[in-house]
Amino acid sequence: MNAIVAYASDPTFWFNVFQVILTNILLSGDNAVLIALACRGLPPRERLWGMVIGAGFASVLLIAFTAVVSVLTTKPFLQMIGGVALFYIAVKLLQPAQHDQEDTPEAVADLWRAIRIVVVADIIMSLDNVIAVGTIAKGEYVLLTIGLAVSIPLVIAGSALIMALLERFPILVWLGAAILGGVAGATLVDDPAAQPLIDAQLSGFSHGQIDTAARLIGAAFVVIAGYIWRRRHHVSLEKA
């Protein structure tokens, strides 16, 4: 009880909570795009649950991972594996959305499939979020939990807005997938195992230039791979 009173009466604590909320929102733009892409094919009710459960699970895992993420990011090839997985997810999200009926087994199966995609990709994409908010929280899990809990509805609201835009302008699906591809490209070059090669071959370029190039190449790869995949899918349907 005394601890609760101490937190409630400490202005610094609430300022840090505000910092966690603001930082997480600013860094969660690509996460909102991911949630919108993953849930866009669900019926309205399952769509809401997909956004809420997916974002909630991911945030709980982020809180749990904050204590170990600084160690994980130093392990070679871990971010590379995550980047490759994110490339696969981004291309997969370009497949045409199929709308099933409410409360059918197909809709429920699609809901849990979307939740799995959101949770896995959200964790991969949120390493920068975790490092940033973990630095602010400095091990205070009460602060971290409150900050992320308040951020969840705002990220979901952003996802709902993006989803509405995707339905009105389907071409934006490609832009969303390209954004995820850019995140995947940046994740690959940030891996410690890639640093010796980058230092040897690209020493004349700044980190910002390398990061931008990796994002552009990653975005282009996802768009091209997605286009080829969709073309082959259409051709196979026409032959069937």
pLDDT of residue 61: 74
pLDDT of residue 14: 75
CB 57 within 8 A of CB 115: yes
Q: How many residues does the chain have?
A: 240
pLDDT of residue 68: 65
The average pLDDT across 212-219 equals 95
Please enumerate in sequence order all residues whose Cβ is within 8 A of that of 96, keeping only pairs 6 or more positions apart, or say none: 230
Tell me the whole-structure pTM to 2 decimals.
0.80
Structure token digits, residue 116: 């799995």
Q: What is the tally of structural domains in the chain? A: 1
pLDDT digits (tens, 9 = 90+) for 173-197: 999 999 999 989 998 998 888 888 8
First-residue to last-residue Cα distance in the chain: 68
pLDDT digits (tens, 9 = 90+) for 44-83: 888 888 888 888 887 777 777 666 665 566 678 888 888 8
pLDDT of residue 16: 75
pLDDT of residue 150: 75
pLDDT of residue 223: 95
pLDDT digits (tens, 9 = 90+) for 17-43: 777 777 777 777 888 888 899 988 888
pLDDT of residue 213: 94
* Residue with more model confidence, 15 or 236: 15
- Angle ∠(132,84,183) on CA atoms, nearest 5: 40
CB 122 within 8 A of CB 28: no
pLDDT digits (tens, 9 = 90+) for 97-150: 665 555 566 666 788 888 888 888 877 777 666 666 666 666 677 777 777 777
* Residue with more model confidence, 75 or 230: 230
pLDDT of residue 132: 66
Q: Which domain holds residue 75?
A: 2-239
